[in-house]
Structure 1
Amino acid sequence: MGITVGFDLDMTLIDPRPGMIAVMKVLSEQSGVPLDGEYFAAHLGPPLEQGLAACGAPEDRIDELITRYRALYPEIVVAQTVALPGAEAALQAARADGGRTVVVTGKYGPNAALHVREHGFDVDVLVGELWAAGKAQTLIDNNAVAYVGDHVGDVVGALAAGAIPVGVVTGPCSREDLLAAGAAVVFDSLEEFPAWLEANSGALRERVRPVPAPAPTA
């Protein structure tokens, strides 16, 4: 029986920071709003509106800036984004023996899909615009037994779903941050994930919830 593993996207599977800095520069020039793109790129994770506010966007311009940011994103960010070390191997390991992969991200869904296609990631389900505990229902619906992410918000989402929180320190949060939030294990990179998955495959399979049989028809 295969298992389902969930993954975050930004700074877990991909590193979009150079493109993020570039798109924020263009957004700032076009809108006339001074925006700190370096700060924005260094603190990826929370929803876009929070990220824009944190780097200088006035509240009354947030909706306008989000619309323009999402329009600029495909041309500027996607081509400058790289896969993080071990990302493809981690996805392949999760899909071995009938397993499934679910990417649950705070990123706007259509732009997240562009990254998945660009890198040829083997993903069964992709859901965007979810953050922290808001990720839990998607993980529950897909029977995910573990969720891998770089942010304490990802740990919160995994715990809310009853999935094992797996941390990776490729994003803004330290090992200590992730462990304090409740991560069961923390890796330096996803290159360590396949060996952990193999070593714990039996225990993970025991966490798979039985799927209820369909009700009999009259």
Structure 2
Amino acid sequence: MRMTVGFDLDMTLIDPRPGVVEVIDALGEEAGIPLDGEYFANNMGPPLDLTLRDVGAPEARIPELVARFRELYPDIVIPATVALPGAHEALDAVRRAGGRTIVVTGKYGPNAAKHIEALDLGVDVLVGELWAAGKAVALREHGAKAYAGDHLGDVRGAIAAGVTSIAVTTGPCSREELAAAGAEVIFDSLTEFPAWFSSFGAPEPVR
């Protein structure tokens, strides 16, 4: 059976922060609402509407702000985004083992797809707009055995799906926070993933 491994996108496989800062600052100026792009970029993970509520954006304007963010995003964020260290190598490790890769992200699906194409990540399946425990729906549907992410919400998604939770400290959460949330494997970056994956799921030796 082909093994499927899931990955989060933002701050796990890619770093879109510079472009996010620019878009959020422009969005706030355009809408006449104080929005701090640095704050949004440094707290990526939750869907945009949740973060807008957290910073006190008017509830009635949130749908409009989200829609405008999605419009501005492709021209500004996509070109400024880079793959994080080890991202391509981690995906390649799964493929070389005959496995499948699935990206499950809270990001708007069409923009996530643009990132994957622009950076030639070549994942097999993309599922967008799922957050925290909600990610378990896609992970179970596609038979994932493990899920890698940078946020406490990603750990919750893996646990809810009953799969191995892999965490990386490339995002906003510390090693201690990720461990406390229940992450089973914690890396400084995905550069450590291929060596670990080479023995993941391997049969126990006959004794």
Q: Same fold (TM over 0.5)?
A: yes
Structure 1 consecutive aligned stretches of length 4 or more whose deviation exceeds 6 Å: none
Cα separation, partners in 2 of 1:119 and 1:62, compared to 1, 3 Å: same
Equivalenced residues, count = 204
Query: Residue 32 of structure 1 aligns with which residue?
Result: 32
Query: Residue 87 of structure 2 aligns with which residue?
Result: 87
| Counterpart amino acid of residue 155 in structure 1 | V
Query: Residue 57 of structure 2 aligns with which residue?
Result: 57
* Alignment partners' CA distance in 1, 2:37 and 2:70: 15
| Percent identity of equivalent pairs | 63
Q: TM-score, normalised by structure 1?
A: 0.91
Contact 1:147–1:165 (CA under 8 A) maintained in structure 2 = yes
Query: Residue 189 of structure 1 aligns with which residue?
Result: 189
* Alignment partners' CA distance in 2, 1:52 and 1:90: 32
* Alignment partners' CA distance in 2, 1:201 and 1:86: 20
Contact 1:37–1:55 (CA under 8 A) maintained in structure 2 = no
**1:92-137 alpha-carbon deviations (Å, 9 max, x no partner):** 1111232000000000000000000000012000000000110001
| Counterpart amino acid of residue 87 in structure 1 | A
Query: Residue 129 of structure 1 aligns with which residue?
Result: 129
| Counterpart amino acid of residue 15 in structure 1 | D
> Structure 1 residue 164 and structure 2 residue 167: aligned?
no
* Structure 2: runs of 5+ lacking an equivalent: none
* Alignment partners' CA distance in 2, 1:38 and 1:138: 30
Tell me by how many angstroms 1:203 deviates.
5.5
Query: Residue 118 of structure 1 aligns with which residue?
Result: 118
* Alignment partners' CA distance in 1, 2:112 and 2:163: 23
How large is the RMSD of aligned CA atoms in angstroms? 1.2
* Alignment partners' CA distance in 1, 2:95 and 2:154: 21
**1:51-80 alpha-carbon deviations (Å, 9 max, x no partner):** 122334221211110010000000011111
Q: SS in structure 2 opposite 1:60?
A: helix
| Counterpart amino acid of residue 89 in structure 1 | E
Q: TM-score, normalised by structure 2?
A: 0.96
Query: Residue 70 of structure 1 aligns with which residue?
Result: 70
Q: SS in structure 2 opposite 1:101?
A: strand
Query: Residue 216 of structure 1 aligns with which residue?
Result: none
* Alignment partners' CA distance in 2, 1:182 and 1:151: 12
Q: SS in structure 2 opposite 1:201?
A: coil
Q: SS in structure 2 opposite 1:9?
A: coil
